[in-house]
C-alpha cells in the first residue's frame, strides 16, 4: 500500500519498524521505482528541538561517512507534512 508523497520524490508505504526516536517506512523513489527506507521522527518527538537537531546530526554523519562499507547510505533528505525525513538505502 503506497500512500503519501514525500516532496514529490518518494512515495511512502508500509511501516517497517518503530523505535523510541523514530519510525521507519518503506518508500519508492519516483522515476526509478527503487525501494528505500524513510525515517521520520515519531509524533511524540516532532516538537522537540533537541530531537530535530539529532535527526539533522544523523543526516550529517551519514553524509560524512558515506563510503563506509557497513553503513546504510543516505539517499536524500526531505519533508512530509513539515516533518524532516531521512531517505536511506533499504537493506
3-state secondary structure 40-62: EECCCCCCCHHHHHHHHHHHHHH
What's the whole-model pTM score?
0.85
Mean pLDDT of the residues in the chain: 87
pLDDT at 10: 87
pLDDT at 4: 66
pLDDT at 39: 94
- Of 83, 81, 72, 82, give the one whose Cα is nearest residue 36: 72
Question: Is residue 62 scored above 60 in pLDDT?
Answer: yes
Amino acid at each position: 500500500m503506497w500512500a503519501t508523497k514525500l516532496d514529490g520524490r518518494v512515495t511512502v508505504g508500509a511501516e517497517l519498524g518503530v523505535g523510541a526516536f523514530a519510525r521507519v517506512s518503506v518508500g519508492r523513489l519516483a522515476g526509478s521505482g527503487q525501494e528505500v527506507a524513510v525515517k521520520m521522527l515519531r509524533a511524540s518527538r516532532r516538537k522537540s528541538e533537541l530531537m530535530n537537531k539529532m535527526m539533522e546530526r544523523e543526516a550529517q554523519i551519514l553524509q560524512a561517512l558515506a563510503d563506509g562499507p557497513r553503513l546504510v547510505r543516505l539517499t536524500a533528505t526531505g519533508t512530509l507534512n513539515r516533518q524532516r525525513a531521512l531517505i536511506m538505502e533499504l537493506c
